[in-house]
Structures are given as C-alpha cells and as structure tokens.
Amino acid sequence: MLVREGLATVEVDGVFYNPRMKFCRDLDVILFRAMPGRSYLDALSASGIRGIRAKLEAGKEPTFNDINPEAVRVIRENLKRNGITAEVWREDANVVMRKKHFDHVDVDPFGSPAAFIDSMCFSAKKSISVTATDTAALCGSAVNSCLRKYSCFVEKVEFYNEVGLRVLAGKIACEATKYDKAPVFVASWAKEHYYRVHAVVRRSPRLAAKVYENVGYLVYCRNCLWRKPVSIKESVPSVCERCSGKLSVYGPLWTGKLKDNEVLTRACRKCEDERALQYLSKLLEEEDCPFYYELHEVCRRLGTSPPGVNAVVERLREMGYRASRTILSGTGVRCNADIGVIERVLKDFE
C-alpha cells in the first residue's frame, strides 16, 4: 500500500507503519526546522517515513537503519521513490549509535526507548528525539516496569502524563551527563498511546553538572493533593506541610523545563500547517510551573462542580499568579499557586 504523508510517498507493505502517528511526524518536521544539526539518524526506520520527511520537509541529511532486512529493502525503494540518496544500515540501533556520531539522533522504537537512550546520548552531537509507547511504565501504572526501565519509582497520580514525561526526560538527562552533555528540552508532549520528547544537546562538563539542579523528586500528598518538586540535593520532607498527611516521594525525575520557548517561537514562525501550529502555539503559551492541577479531581474532593478551565485560569491571573491551560489535559491548569489557592478559587465559582 502506498501512503502519502507530508511531502513523502512511501510503500508500507511488510513494515511497521502507524497512521495515528502522522500528526506526531507533522509536529516533528516543524520542530526539526528550528533544531540544530544537519546529519540525522532515523535509528529505527521501519518504512523510513520519519527520515524521508526530515529530508523533504526540514532539509536534514538522513541516515536510515532497521534491524529487519525486509524494512531495509522497503526503505531503499522508498528512498528511490522520493528521489533521495542516503545510507541505509541493517544493524542493531545501539551498534550504529556507538559506531558513528550524528548531529541529530531520533529513536522511535516499539515500546520502551530505555535500551537505546545511553547510545543515543553518546551519538548525538546537537539534537535528540525520542518516542516512548510504554506509557504504563512511565505514568505509574506499572511500578516495577518503571523501576526496571527508568530506575525511577512512581505510582499513578491524577497528573500522570506529566509524571511520565518527567520520568522519560529525567532518564535522558542523566544518561547524557555521562558524556558531558546537557539537554535543553525543546518540546515534550503525551498524546494517545505515546510520549514524545525533543531536546537540543549542549556539550559542556559545566552544563552537564548543572543538569542535576533540575533532577529531583515529586513529593505529593494523597490526602490533600499538595505537591512540590524537590531537588536531588535538598532533603526530602516526609510530612505534608498543609495537612500533616504522609507524603509520597516519587522519582528521581526531571523537574526543570520541558520546552524551550525560543525554539518553539522559531518553529511556529516557519509553520504553515494550521493544525500543527495550533498545537505548538498552545504549548508555547503554556506556563512552565511543574505539575498541573487536574480540576476535576480537585472539584471531586471539594464536592463542587468544575467551572470552565479558561475562567479559572483568568481568575488566577487576576490574582497575580502565572496560570495557563496545559496540552496534557483538557481539564488541567498550570499555576505557581499552591493547592490551597486553587481550592479557594474553585469554591468561589460555586
């Protein structure tokens, strides 16, 4: 079957191709135009659609790889079909990433990317992109999987997709520092069945050491929903300062920024795709405050009915707080106010 996606036309018979990831690839190519680096490794290519679109729509110079010989045959045909000349490897992705450095490395595996993150950080000179579909492990539903894959302890909370993104980002950040590299996350999102993270990488021992200022723990009170990120260098409280309940401690995970507004602004400026622009603009407008409030959960506990999300954001801004919606949940609010303020605002709407 021939598939058209962006500027590419690819054959997908005999290889993995997920049409539901089209929007992800649409966002990717727009971001790639604003991310540094020309040489680009599509480390787990399948049909080659990502690398082909990276070349045709973002001007990258791709190298392709897939361990499956049938995929390699299909990629070669797809390159011819799209008028592209490029190297195609048939190796374990980890072998390619150890053998050669690329400006930009993209890891898009089945399930967990955990086994590829170390080599990806070794190989990448300027940019990295990662997909994860092991969402149960990342978001706290599969506690032991998260421990095994990400060396991180998390359980499910109501803002679980943010926790998942921060577990993945934390793993990337910690693996990168071994090679004196520091990621600056450009864009991160959780959608449907997958998580996607893009980062620019800087090589500097000084910046790599500073990464740990943004690695830490989420302390969270299941009794009153109070939460706080705590740096790995600080002492971790065990009792809730609001209700004296016992705190849950999750991590280590990334507590820093999950996006970079400068790169996002540049990406949006060059974007002619309406739907993608709308999504990236929402991400751009989002406040950076870690751990959004899930209004439905707060209201359920208060026994009140949830007001409109925009009205809550507006009220919080009027009160002088930084507040915004979040792309991670239609009923989520990011704010630098604590849960006590959020509750008061919600009660006022009654």
Binding site for Zn ion (CB under 5 A): 221, 223-224, 226, 240, 242-243, 245
Q: Please list every residue from 88 through 147 that binds ligand SAM, using CB under 6 A.
A: 92-93, 108-110
Residue 2 beta carbon to ligand SAM: minimum distance, rounded to whole angstroms: 15
Q: How far apart are CA 77 and CA 84, in angstroms?
A: 10
Residue 312 beta carbon to ligand SAM: minimum distance, rounded to whole angstroms: 37
Q: Which of 6, 8, 17, 280 binds ligand SAM (CB under 6 A)?
A: 17
Q: Which does 240 bind (CB under 5 to 8 A by kind): Zn ion, ligand SAM, none?
A: Zn ion
Does residue 67 interact with ligand SAM by CB under 6 A? yes
DSSP H helical segments within 151-272, as ranges?
160-177, 205-210, 261-269
Question: Which is nearer to Zn ion, 245 or 330 (by Cβ)?
Answer: 245
DSSP state at residue 218: E
Contact 128, 101 (CB under 8 A): no
- Element containing residue 33 per DSSP (H, E): helix 22-34
DSSP state at residue 317: H
Q: How far apart are CA 266 and CA 237, in angstroms?
A: 40
Residue 16 beta carbon to ligand SAM: minimum distance, rounded to whole angstroms: 4
**Strand boundaries in the chain, DSSP class E:** 2-5, 8-11, 39-42, 61-65, 88-89, 102-107, 124-132, 181-191, 194-203, 215-221, 227-231, 247-254, 293-294, 323-326, 329-335
Question: Which is nearer to Zn ion, 205 or 340 (by Cβ)?
Answer: 340
Question: Which is nearer to ligand SAM, 20 or 275 (by Cβ)?
Answer: 20
Q: How far apart are CA 154 and CA 139, in angstroms?
A: 7
Q: Which of 27, 30, 44, 105 binds ligand SAM (CB under 6 A)?
A: 44
Q: Which stretch binds ligand SAM (CB under 6 A): 65-73, 201-209, 259-267, 294-302?
A: 65-73
- The CA-atom distances, in angstroms, between 49 and each of 7, 89, 265 are 10, 15, 26
Residue 157 beta carbon to Zn ion: minimum distance, rounded to whole angstroms: 13
38 is written with which tokens?
A: 């020309």
- Give the closest residue to 127 by CA, choosing from 101, 93, 151: 101
Binding mask 159-188 for ligand SAM (x = CB under 6 A): ------------------------------
Residue 294 beta carbon to ligand SAM: minimum distance, rounded to whole angstroms: 30
Binding mask 20-39 for ligand SAM (x = CB under 6 A): -x------------------
Q: Which of 8, 49, 208, 295 binds ligand SAM (CB under 6 A)?
A: 49
Q: Which does 47 bind (CB under 5 to 8 A by kind): Zn ion, ligand SAM, none?
A: ligand SAM
Does residue 230 interact with ligand SAM by CB under 6 A? no
Q: How far apart are CA 207 and CA 267, in angstroms?
A: 25
- Give the closest residue to 199 by CA, choosing from 209, 208, 214, 188: 188
Contacts (Cβ under 8 Å, ≥6 apart) of 295: 306, 307, 309, 312, 331, 332, 333, 346
3-class DSSP assignment, residue 244 = coil
Q: Which of 29, 30, 56, 71 binds ligand SAM (CB under 6 A)?
A: 71
Question: Which is nearer to ligand SAM, 94 or 231 (by Cβ)?
Answer: 94
Identify the bridge partners of residue 61 per DSSP, sorted by sequence position.
39
Residue 93 beta carbon to ligand SAM: minimum distance, rounded to whole angstroms: 4
Q: How many residues bind ligand SAM (CB under 6 A)?
A: 20
Q: Which does 341 bind (CB under 5 to 8 A by kind): Zn ion, ligand SAM, none?
A: none
Q: Please list every residue from 140 through 159 that binds ligand SAM, using CB under 6 A.
A: none
Q: Which residues of this chain interact with ligand SAM, rule CB under 6 A?
A: 15-17, 21, 44-47, 49-50, 65-68, 71, 92-93, 108-110
